[in-house]
Amino acid sequence: MSTTTTTPSRPGRRSPATWVRGGGLSTLVFLVPLLLVFGVFSWFPIVRALVMSLQETNLVTPPTFVGLDNFRHVLADPLLGTAVRNTAYFAVLALLIGYPVPLVAAVLMREVRRGRGLYSALAYLPVVVPPVVAVLLWKFFYKGGPQGVFNTVLGWVGLGPFPWLQDATWAMPSLVLAATWAGAGGTIIIYLAALTSVPPELYDASEVDGAGLWRKIWHVTLPQLRGVLLITLILQVIGTAQVFLEPYLFTGGGPNNATVTVLLLIYRYAFQNSLGGDYGAATALSLMLAAFLAVLSLVYFRLTRSWSTS
């Protein structure tokens, strides 16, 4: 008795009519506007920046192709080293001060039995305050001399007065403090949302084992938030590497270039005079910063892949 085996026939190539009947045309109709929006507002500016980085242009006179001269000019600028050091200093201070504050605030809010919604609203309130209003408020707080708000409060306990924004040593920590106040609310909301996914049984089991508040945080909360913590960490690093608003509005890069950051240097390249700045150098430095952040993110995610999934 012979047995025959049948091999499944390979589906033939879909014809255009079959593709249309299968919903391909409607998919394309919905996809085209999305591609146009991304092309005009995302991809075209990136390509334009690549072209401008190889040109000498101020958007007023006709551009001139200069090759890699813009990159050489940026790397030879003595202010670049200062901007990189200031940016790194800001990032380190922001991580030491601004990274743990939202986590601690979110954990404490979760432990509160009453008024959690009110505390969440108060924590998020600085995010909705217009930046200009916030800067004017903090400048009033940072006013030098004994009449400043912060110096007055510190004077009650025998401290100060401190120069805050007027001194090169105090300027950057002052900016970090204001930036932490302005940006912590959004991260607190993220942590509060992540804390809702922690199984309550874990906390109940830890209480049965006699764990206190800090042991529950260390052995239950932090391990459960590990993935979120790793994401917020790289987002904060990327955000602090692109800090611009605080140095620009508070100090303009001073005193004595103590708060000049990479993005502020890019701004100076682009808008250094009324006739148009050096947009070629500005885009060159922008691409260098983007490449650095892309490589940093890639290395970070490769190193933390096992930590976030284990």
Question: Can you give the pLDDT at residue 13?
Answer: 63
Q: Which of 264, 280, 265 is nearest to 50 (CA)?
A: 280
Question: Can you give the pLDDT at residue 210?
Answer: 76
SS3 state of residue 64? strand
Query: Per-residue pLDDT for 38 more than 90?
Result: no
pLDDT (tens digit per residue) in 133-185:
888 889 889 987 778 889 888 889 888 788 899 888 999 999 999 999 988 88
Question: Can you give the pLDDT at residue 144?
Answer: 79
Question: Can you give the pLDDT at residue 1?
Answer: 47
Please indicate whether residue 20 or residue 210 has the higher confidence score (pLDDT).
210
What is the third-level CATH fold of 88-229? MetI-like fold (1.10.3720)
Question: Can you give the pLDDT at residue 171?
Answer: 92
**Distance (Å, whole) CA 229 – CA 63:** 45
Query: Per-residue pLDDT for 254 more than 90?
Result: no
Per-residue exposure over 65-87, b if at least 16 CB sit within 10 Å of its own CB, e if not = ebeebbbebbeeeeebebbbebb
Instruction: Give the start-to-end residue ranges of the domains of the chain.
Output: 88-229
pLDDT (tens digit per residue) in 93-108:
999 988 888 888 888 8
Amino acid code (one letter) for 72: R
19 confidence band (pLDDT: 50, 70, 90): low
Query: Per-residue pLDDT for 23 more than 70?
Result: no
8 confidence band (pLDDT: 50, 70, 90): low
Q: Which residues pair with 56 in a beta bridge?
A: 64
285 confidence band (pLDDT: 50, 70, 90): very high
Query: Per-residue pLDDT for 7 more than 60?
Result: no
Average confidence (pLDDT) over 33-43: 87
For residue 293, what are the contacts with CB-CB under 8 A and spacing of at least 6? 238, 241, 242
Query: Per-residue pLDDT for 260 more than 90?
Result: yes
Average confidence (pLDDT) over 267-287: 83
310 confidence band (pLDDT: 50, 70, 90): low
Q: Which residues pair with 55 in a beta bridge?
A: 65
Average confidence (pLDDT) over 269-287: 83
